[in-house]
Structure 1
Amino acid sequence: MDVVIVGGGSVGLLLGSYLSESGLKVTMVVRREEQSSELNKKGIRRVNEDGSESVFRVYATTAFPMDNQDSVWIIAVKYIDLQQLLIQLDRLEIKNPMLFIQNGLDHYSLANDTSLPHLAFATVEHGARRLNDNTVQHNGVGLVTIGAGRGDSTVFDIIENAHSGNFPVKRHADAEFVLMRKVLINCMINPLTAILEVENGELLTNPSCHELFVSLYDELINAFPEMEPHLSLEAVSAVCQKTAHNKSSMLSDRLAGRPMEIKTIITAVIEKAHALHKSVPLLAMLEKMLYAIESKGEKL
C-alpha cells in the first residue's frame, strides 16, 4: 500500500519524512502549487534533533489522487479546514481508509458522520516546526498513538510498521480515550504557551509558568479523575521536556495571525466537564483570554 498525506504543515511533513524513510511511497496533497513544486524538486528535508539533516523523496500534488484505491490516507489538515475537505472527498467518492490526526475532540464526530468505511484517529506528541515549504525541524521525539475507529483496523498496519526509535508508533483499541488523553495534554500546554508567549519547556523552567501548569493539571484531573492513572503530572511534564524548544500549535497560530483551535480543544473540554457537573474555572478563564486575544486579530 501507498500513503497519501493531505496537509503540508509541520505534522504532515514530519509524518511524510518518516513514512518515506520506512520505504513507503508517499504522496503529499498540499494547497499551493509553490509548495508542491518545492517538494517535488527537493523532497522533504528533515532537520533532526541532533542537528543532522535528512532528505526523503515524495510526490506532491495539489489535486486529490484518484488512481489508487488501495492507498491509506492521513488527514493532516487543521480542524477548521476539515469539514470542507470531507465534503470534497464525498463529492469525489473517495472512500480510502483514513487516519485523522487533528487536535481536539470535535473532529471525532465529524469524521464518524461520514460514509467512510475505514476510520482511525491518531495523536502525535512529537515536537515539529515547519521551516519552509519542504523543511521540517524535528524538535522532540514523542509518540504516535493510533486509536481504532471503525472498519478494518489492519489497513493501518503500514503506519505502525514505520515504528522506529525516533518515530515510535503504538495502537490502542479506543480512539475516544486516545483523543481525550491528548486533548487534556493540549489543554495543559497550549493555552498557557499561547497567552504567555513561551515555548513548551518554559512551563517547567519558569517558576510562575510552572505554578500555573501544575494548577491546570490538578484542575483537569479533578474534573476527569478516571484519566489520572493514564496521565500523570510527570507524563505531561515529559511532553514539555521532549518538546522544550517547540512552540505549541496554538502559539504558532497566534504568532502567524491564524485562528487558534480554541473551540475544538479548550471549549470542548470545558463542555465535557460541565456535562459531568465539574467546574474548571482556570481553564474557563484561559478560554476567555484566548478569545479576547483572537478577537483583536493582530499578528505578533
Structure 2
Amino acid sequence: MEIQLQVAQAQDRSEIAALIHGSTNAWYRQHGMGDIFSAGAESCGLFVDVYQQLDAGHHWIARDEQGAICGSCFFHPRETHLGLGIMNVHPDYFGRGIARRLLAKADELAGDLPVRLLSSALNLDSYSLYQRGGFTPYALYQDMAIPVPSQGLELPRLTRGQVRAARLDDLPAILQLERELLGIERQRDIAYFLNDTSGLWRVAVWELDGRIGGYLASVAHPASRMLGPGCCHGEEIALELLGWMLDHHHRGATPVVLVPTPCSALSQAVLRWGGRICELHIAQVKGQAQPPGGVVMPSFLPESG
C-alpha cells in the first residue's frame, strides 16, 4: 500500500480529530487502561486549532491510496529547536512505517536545529522508534492528576513572593527565565497564552521585589486540562504557582501536571493535596539540550519537551 505525506488542510480537521481521539484511546484500552480522551472525538479538534494558529503549514498527515487519513503529526518550529507534537497512527496501520516516515519529516523541517519531544514511558514501541531515530532522554517526569474541590483551595504561603495573573509586559521576563532554566526560546507560544481572551488559557507569574522567578501556563478544555508549560527557580515557588492556578482555573476538575522526578518535596506536597501519579513521560532530544535547571513543568499542548 502506498502512503503519501502531505500538509494538512482546513477541511481535514474533523477527520484528524477523530484519528487523534480514536488511536490514542485505542492504545490505552489495549494496554488495560481507560480512555485518555473522555469527551467526544470533536473535542480533539483543539490540537488542530492550536497548532494551526501557532504554526500554519507545519501539520503533516499520511493518506492511504483511498485518501483516508491514517497518520498525523504536529511540528512546532521555534527559535532554538523544533518541537515534535502529538503523533498518531490509525490502529489499522500500525507497523507499516508511517510513524517512521513522519519522524523523518522532523529531520527535514529541523535542519540544523535540535528536535525535542515528550513521550510516554508506557509506550515502549514509541520509545524504541525515537531511540532508533537518534533521540536521547534527558529528563523524566511524573504525570500527577490533582482533584480540585469545587470551592477551591486554601494553601499556605511558602515564600515572600506573590503569585499574580501574568500581563503582556511580563513576556520579556518569562522568555529570559526560559532561556536561563531550559536554554530554549519560544516567544510565539508565550505570547499566544498571554494574548488569549477565550478563557481557555491562563498564565501566572511568581514575583518578588519586582523580579519574576517563575511562571506557569494552564489550559482548561475537555480534550486537555493541564498545568504547564512553566518553570521556576525552586520547589516552593512551583507549589505556590500550582496552588494559585488550581484555585483560579480548575475548580471542580482534575487537571494533570508533569513534575520532574528529582523534585521529591514538590511531588510529596502534591500527593498530600490528593494528587496521584498516573503516568511517566520522558523528555528526549535529537541534538543538544541544556540540562533543565530549577523546576520545569512541561506540557503536551503545545509540546514543550
State whether TM-score is above 0.5: no
TM-score (normalised: structure 2): 0.30
More helix by share: 1
TM-score (normalised: structure 1): 0.30
More strand by share: 2
